[in-house]
Amino acid sequence: MSQNLRDIMTGQVMTVNETQSVQEAAAVMSTYNIGALPVVNSSGQMVGIVTDRDITLRTTAQGESAQTPISQVMTAQQVVQGTPDMDVHQAAQLMAQQQIRRLPVVENEQIVGMVALGDLAVQQQYANEAEQALSSISTPSAPQS
């Protein structure tokens, strides 16, 4: 019997508002030991995602201020996401294809959970898919210009 993301996702997801600073986002990441935060607007709708790598490459490396709004460094276009009813196998394939380690789970435009590659790896029946996804994710893609 296959499982849905609802069965394995982390339900308590920390988020940041698009108007908060990258310093605030980095502080949340540090406090909770996480590398990605869904970004929400004032209505609580997910509008993007910001990773520790986004902050490093789009803020620090560019000499931007720690007060730079998250909206300027987050990934907003085509944020890959799943739904609570999505099959875990489909999610693993999607993560491999898109080369992502974390998949936000969204229902009615609200973030309801997060699935990480590690969540797949600890589920014994998905260990092979997690391994395949990781090998796809770890394959370098062409540098972005």
* 124 has a pLDDT exceeding 80: no
21 in any annotated domain: yes
143 in any annotated domain: no
Question: Residue 145's pLDDT band (boundaries 50, 70, 90)?
Answer: very low
- The neighbour count for residue 38, using CB atoms within 10 Å, is 24
144 in any annotated domain: no
What total number of domains does the chain contain? 1
**Are the C-beta atoms of residues 50 and 73 closer than 8 Å to each other?**
yes
pTM across the whole model = 0.78
Domain extent for 46: 5-138
* 143 has a pLDDT exceeding 50: yes
How far is residue 111's CA from residue 13's CA, in Å, rounded to a whole number? Answer: 8
**Are the C-beta atoms of residues 99 and 133 closer than 8 Å to each other?**
no
10-50 residue pLDDT tens: 998 999 999 999 999 999 999 999 999 999 999 989 999 99
53-91 residue pLDDT tens: 999 999 988 889 999 999 999 988 788 999 999 998 899
59 in any annotated domain: yes
118 in any annotated domain: yes
Rg of the chain in Å (alpha carbons)? 15
How far is residue 68's CA from residue 89's CA, in Å, rounded to a whole number? Answer: 38
87 in any annotated domain: yes
- The CATH number of the domain holding residue 54 is 3.10.580.10
- Residue 100 is predicted with a pLDDT of 87
Q: Spell out the alpha helix ranges (H) of the chain.
A: 5-8, 22-32, 52-55, 88-98, 117-122, 127-138
User: Which one is predicted more confidently, 61 or 133?
Assistant: 61
Q: At what angle do helices 88-98 and 127-138 cross, to 10 degrees?
A: 10
Q: What is the mean pLDDT of residues 94-114?
A: 91
28 in any annotated domain: yes
CB within 8 A of 67, min separation 6: which ones? Answer: 21, 22, 23
Q: What is the mean pLDDT of residues 101-110?
A: 92
